[in-house]
């Protein structure tokens, strides 16, 4: 798998991964999003940080075939669009990553519903002391690219697409679906389902400020202690924010929808 050294190992999104290295998955290129399909608040933030859509890798789990052409959607076929976890700054959709057990599990145990999962290798964020890379809303536009590939590239009906994300991927999945809901004029439709697995939706931990909050209440038995959450969470969310402030995050439903 092409990788470059850096913070938590950043993947090289410009290089194709050969079939032998893809294990039980299929490597797929996803085209960039047309500029007219990035609008509203997402466009405003993308322009502010210089984020541009680009071709990105994805990995197909399940029955993707072996012919050069990727099989189109069958009549009524359902599919999962998967977004891996990793705190916005780590992880990959590549099948050797431990988070790949999620798309594997879907096709292994849920093949009566879906025979295929597309896991998008969205660009991950970085900040000081490393070069700033892929701040918000880069990951959301990459997820949008995957959704458009399924609908306009392979012919899946929006209602037959289930968007899934775990941890930070859950935040991105929720942001994608929110964007699709808020921009009906684009004609992209709404996915038929949303699966959030331990989504990181309060990235600045405002819940800990509430009286009788669950973080404090369960501190003696929670294996992730508040101090650990703070140390582990500060770099990821600051990297994802880019030049935005914590107060910007508190007010932005795309960034931290469960904050208050």
Between residues 211 and 231, the one the model is more confident about: 211
| Residue carrying structure tokens 């590549």 | 94
What is the pLDDT at residue 5?
34
| DSSP letter (8 states) at residue 159 | G
- 99, 90 contact by CB (below 8 A): no
The proportion of the chain whose per-residue pLDDT surpasses 70, expressed as a percent, equals 91
Select from 3.40.50.1820, 3.60.15.10, 3.40.50.10490, 3.20.20.70 the CATH code of 19-251: 3.40.50.1820
Of the listed ranges 61-65, 126-130, 150-154, the least confidently predicted one is: 126-130
Rounded Cα–Cα distance for residues 156 and 148 (Å)? 9
What tens digit of pLDDT does each residue of 175-186 get? 999 999 999 999
Which of 71-75, 102-106, 202-206, 214-218 is the least confident region? 214-218
According to the model, what pLDDT value does residue 214 have?
73
Q: Identify whether the C-beta of residue 55 lies closer than 8 Å to the C-beta of residue 126.
A: no
Helix 40-49 vs helix 138-148: angle between axes, to the nearest 10 degrees? 130
CA 223 to chain centre: 25
86: DSSP letter: S
Domain residue ranges in the chain: 19-251
Summarize the confidence of residues 153-157 as an average pLDDT. Answer: 99
pLDDT digits (tens, 9 = 90+) for 74-119: 999 999 999 999 999 999 999 999 999 999 999 999 989 999 999 9
pLDDT at 4: 41
Contact 237, 203 (CB under 8 A): yes
* 83 phi, psi to nearest 5 deg: -125, 115
Q: What is the pLDDT of residue 135?
A: 96
Closest CA to 120 of 173, 156, 49: 173
Angle between helices 168-182 and 40-49 (to 10 degrees): 120
Per-residue model confidence as pLDDT tens digits over 20-76: 899 999 999 999 999 999 999 999 999 999 999 999 999 999 999 989 999 999 999
* pLDDT for 131 beyond 50: yes
Are 61 and 103 within 8 A, CB to CB? Answer: yes
Name the more confident of 137 and 14. Answer: 137
The closest alpha carbon to 101, from 185, 166, 7, 179, belongs to: 166
In whole angstroms, what is the distance from residue 66 CA to residue 83 CA? 23
Burial class (CB in 10 A: 0-12, 13-18, 19+), 98: exposed
């Amino acid at each position: 798998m092409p990788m470059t050294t850096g913070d938590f190992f950043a993947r090289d999104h410009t290089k194709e991964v050969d079939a032998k290295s893809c294990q039980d998955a299929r490597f797929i290129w996803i085209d960039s999003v047309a500029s007219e399909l990035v609008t509203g608040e997402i466009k405003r933030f993308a322009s502010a940080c210089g984020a541009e859509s680009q071709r990105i890798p994805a990995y197909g789990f399940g029955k993707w075939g072996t012919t050069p052409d990727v099989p189109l959607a069958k009549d009524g076929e359902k599919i999962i669009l998967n977004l891996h976890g990793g705190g916005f700054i780590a992880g990959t959709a590549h099948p050797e990553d431990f988070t790949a057990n999620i798309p594997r599990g879907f096709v292994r145990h849920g093949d009566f519903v879906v025979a295929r999962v597309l896991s998008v290798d969205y660009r991950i964020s970085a900040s000081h002391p490393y070069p700033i890379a892929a701040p918000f809303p880069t990951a959301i536009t990459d997820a949008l690219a995957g959704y458009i590939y399924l609908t306009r590239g392979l012919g899946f009906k929006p209602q037959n697409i289930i968007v899934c994300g775990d941890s930070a991927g859950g935040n991105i999945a929720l942001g994608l679906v929110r964007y699709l809901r808020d921009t009906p004029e684009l004609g992209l439709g709404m996915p038929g389902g949303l699966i959030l697995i331990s989504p990181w939706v309060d990235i600045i931990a405002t819940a800990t400020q509430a009286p009788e909050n669950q973080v404090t209440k369960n501190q003696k038995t929670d294996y992730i202690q508040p101090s650990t959450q703070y140390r582990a969470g500060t770099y990821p969310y600051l990297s994802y924010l880019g030049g935005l402030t914590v107060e910007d995050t508190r007010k932005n439903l795309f960034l931290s929808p469960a904050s208050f």
